[in-house]
Chain A
Amino acid sequence: MFADLDWGPLWLTAELATITTAILFVVGVPLAGWIAHSRSRAKPLVETLVSMPLVLPPSVLGFYLLLTLSPNNAFGAWLARTFDLRLVFTFEGLVVGSVLYSLPFMVQPVQAALSNLPPSLREASYTLGKSRLATFWRIELPSVRPALLVGTVMSFAHTVGEFGVVLMIGGNIPDQTRVASIAIYNEVEVHNYSGANAYSMVLVAFCFAIVFLLNWLNRRHKVVLR
């Protein structure tokens, strides 16, 4: 079953998930910090926008991304003109869609953990002369390590599993945008159930391993951090 399997979509999936998770870590963690501590009036709005992908049908998100990023529209045309960047039906476009789609999976656990830290930790650091940034970096982030791990793993897993957004803005181009979940759909379309089964089994095994790992990590951290 695995002998004549095209591993391309699986590698592409892994690549997409890795890049997406890396970007999410860099973008999502400061965003989580801002939401956790901000008293700005814009906070509820930002919070809502970040959480939208949890309830929004992926095809809706994908549809609007397709419209926005298309070179026929102002923003897409500007991207193409200024940066020579085409995001529709390209791997880069998949990354943009995945980052937006998986954003809550990185932001929410980290934000919740930061909000749950006793405020006195930050205040103690301030009275010791440390800036907000130093406090965030040296006190708060190390204290929410379990949540950072959960956010990272969940973002990765969620990107691996996405379908709707990818199909809408990426299509089904081999070695460009055909990730594993699309490949399964593709194999079923051409009645190659054995191929679809092979991809599916890899994903089942992967997801099982991820959830198992998460549970194990959670238990271990509970013991360590009490």
Chain B
Amino acid sequence: MIEFDLSLSRAGHNSGDGFRLAMAGRIDDGEFLTLFGPSGVGKSTLLRLIAGLEKPSAGTLKVDGETWCDAARGMHKPPQQRSVGFVFQDYALFPTMTVSDNVRYAAGRGESAWVGELLELTRLSALAERKPHELSGGQQQRVALARALARRPRLLLLDEPLSALDLSLRLMLQQELQELHQRFGLTTILVSHDLSEVFRLSHRVMVCEHGRIVRHGHPRDVFIGQAPSRDRLSLSGELLAKRRSDVVWILTLLVGQDIVEVIATDEEADALEPGMRLAISTRAFSPLLMPAGG
């Protein structure tokens, strides 16, 4: 189990634009936890604090009863001595090493069989002798994952590993991530700002805002629970255009990756300009549901 109660303050260039983080929580063994929130709220910083890449200004971090960090006592285990696998947003693959050398560097000597198994598992065996710059984004992501697993860490930390990839690849890799998590049962913390990712992968989500964890729980409880009413369908989108048609206005909205059109009255349309974010709420009663196909 991981118990953390960490804070970090950083002075900004001007007074008032400094950064303050104060987050506390517990993570169970084998749990898949997501840190969710917009960028700049401290999700990645929390991950870096746990990995030992940043020092907190105050607080403690315990993993399985072992203290990794205790700011009051000036105790801070260096990242080398923390059993973590870290997947960076930019993957941070070593550019001069081949795929298998990247993994072997992490695994250490005499681990050829394990390296081979990892490459097999992440479907990289055929690419073992390639250099990172010869790989696609999804393949690079898999190398980063295999490398992070190579030391058999207690804790897997994933810093928006899928955000740079397109949708279909992301879905595929989410699936793989889920399979790897089931296979190794590793306690995993994922930083994400993609709701579908949170729903698909995590047992629990912590929602971060302004350097704090504001809500946590099962994704369904956290996100559906906050909808204005449970019998309504609530969406959020961006207004792309509005045009007049006879007596009403037609609004063109971007919801997720879909473009939809809805009707608005004069009064409503007057208050809206293209580019604005909108919350759309409608009755959830008896919608037409059908499989969309792949």
Contact of B84 among A127, A139, A142 (CB under 8 A): A127
Contact of B96 among A118, A120, A124, A143 (CB under 8 A): A143
A138 at the interface (CB under 8 A from B): yes
**Cβ B80 vs Cβ A120 within 8 A:** no
Chain B residue numbers with a CB within 8 Å of A26 are none
**Cβ A126 vs Cβ B80 within 8 A:** yes
A144 smallest CB distance to B (angstroms): 10
Chain B residue numbers with a CB within 8 Å of A124 are 86, 88, 92, 94, 147
Give the contacts of A180-219 with B (CB-CB under 8 A): none
**Cβ A143 vs Cβ B95 within 8 A:** yes
A127 smallest CB distance to B (angstroms): 4
Chain B residue numbers with a CB within 8 Å of A125 are 94, 105
**Cβ A123 vs Cβ B79 within 8 A:** yes
Of the candidates B52, B82, B89, B106, the one having the most CB atoms from chain A within 10 angstroms of its own CB is B106
Q: Interface residue count for A (Cβ, 8 Å)?
A: 19
Chain A residue numbers with a CB within 8 Å of B78 are 126
**Cβ A120 vs Cβ B84 within 8 A:** no
**Cα-based distance from A123 to B97 in the complex (angstroms):** 16
A221 smallest CB distance to B (angstroms): 12
**Cα-based distance from A143 to B81 in the complex (angstroms):** 25
B53 at the interface (CB under 8 A from A): yes
**Cβ B88 vs Cβ A138 within 8 A:** no
Give the contacts of B40-76 with A (CB-CB under 8 A): 51-53
**Cα-based distance from A225 to B95 in the complex (angstroms):** 8
Per-residue CB contact flags for chain B residues 93-112 toward chain A (1 = under 8 Å, else 0) read 01111000000011010000
Given contacts A128-B106, A129-B151, A130-B80, contact A123 B88 (CB under 8 A): yes
**Cβ A123 vs Cβ B92 within 8 A:** yes
Interface, chain B (partner A; CB < 8 A): 51-53, 78-82, 84-86, 88-90, 92, 94-97, 105-106, 108, 133, 147-148, 150-151
Known contacts A120-B88, A129-B81; can you find 12 more A-B pairs with CB under 8 A?
A: A121-B92, A123-B51, A123-B79, A125-B94, A127-B52, A127-B53, A127-B82, A128-B105, A128-B106, A129-B106, A129-B151, A131-B80
